[in-house]
Amino acid sequence: MAQWLTGEVIENYAWNQELFSLRVRTEPFAFIAGQFVRLRLEHDGGRVQRAYSLVNGPDDSILDFLVNRIHDGLFSPLLHQLQPGQLIEVSQPPSGFFTLNEVPDGDSLWLIATGTGIGPYLSMLSTHEPWQRFARIHLVHAVRYGADLAYQNKIMDWVALYPNQFTYQPIVSREDYPGALRGRIPALIESNQLQQAVGDTLTNRAQVMLCGNPEMIRDTRALLDVMGLPKNLRRKPGNVTMEHYW
Ligand SMILES: Cc1cc2nc3c(=O)[nH]c(=O)nc-3n(C[C@H](O)[C@H](O)[C@H](O)COP(=O)(O)OP(=O)(O)OC[C@H]3O[C@@H](n4cnc5c(N)ncnc54)[C@H](O)[C@@H]3O)c2cc1C
């Protein structure tokens, strides 16, 4: 049975009209970067809960969640309205196996996300583990509009800090955007455009993480399988580790 901590909203930061970062203070708890918790609110006389990845690093005292408001959704519009000082429940213990300790060693780590799926990677990158284990790290973030490219300051700090180890490649599908590729992730891999953009190859020495939209994950996973990068299982280590958001 999940336990629930009571958290206080510290900030609800709007990146744009739909995308926001909810910052919540609770009593401290341990988690592995990449894990998620459930957030719970009272609504219409009942309680509603959904899963959200922790964006903050395990050492940060304030919880950070990157959330997309789904217009016909039930829970995300409630989160969108929250103001500092309001309370929200946070499940314990944190859940999930989309963590680097589940990822085999390799030469390169490809962190590929759509939308809010970048959250777990930001948490992982704020720990020492990826920098110590992988010679090359590529953060690939696919969004609809340039304004959806959240956490640019944090990402640019890593670009500056690890110029020979880290690349950041945005993909923007609905407008031309400086420095971004345009198109779908599987097509950009199949045409080699993504690999060219980050200056690396997708061989069986690469470890790939996929997070976000299930269609992207399904199609990218199928393509990588054909390219000789199979799904990573505990009983049979491979190259592709996944987290579906719906
Ligand atoms: C392990 C896990 C971690 C998650 N982490 C996050 C997170 O960090 N941030 C986050 O915003 N959501 C995250 N989600 C999704 C989240 O739990 C909710 O499903 C989402 O906020 C929609 O809830 P809702 O009640 O508003 O919509 P619902 O009424 O539940 O409608 C769900 C529909 O909304 C769409 N949808 C769901 N999530 C997203 C999304 N993130 N972006 C675009 N479309 C979406 C899908 O079409 C889905 O069928 C996660 C889900 C899982 C399983």
pLDDT of 104-125, one tens digit each? 999 999 999 999 999 999 999 9
CATH topology of domain 3-92: Elongation Factor Tu (Ef-tu); domain 3 (2.40.30)
For CATH 2.40.30.10, the residue range(s) in the chain are 3-92
| Confidence (pLDDT) at 1 | 73
Nearest Cα residue to atom 11 of ligand 1? 67
Check if the beta carbon of residue 58 is closer than 8 Å to that of residue 32.
yes
For CATH 3.40.50.80, the residue range(s) in the chain are 102-244
H or E element, residue 184: none
Which atom of ligand 1 is least distant from the CA of 243? 1
Instruction: Give the separation between CA 123 and CA 52, rounded to whole angstroms.
Output: 13
Candidate from 52, 91, 241, 243 with most ligand 1 atoms within 8 A of CB, to mutate: 52
- CA–centroid distance, 113 to ligand 1, in Å, is 14
Nearest Cα residue to atom 32 of ligand 1? 73
The CATH code belonging to domain 102-244 is: 3.40.50.80
Whole-model pTM? 0.97
Nearest Cα residue to atom 37 of ligand 1? 246
pLDDT of 58-100, one tens digit each? 999 999 999 999 999 999 999 999 999 999 999 999 999 999 9
- Per DSSP (E only), the strands in the chain are 3-14, 19-25, 36-43, 46-53, 62-68, 87-92, 108-114, 136-143, 166-172, 206-212, 240-244
- CA–centroid distance, 52 to ligand 1, in Å, is 8
Distance of CA 90 to the CA centre of its chain: 19
Residue 2 confidence (pLDDT) above 90 = no
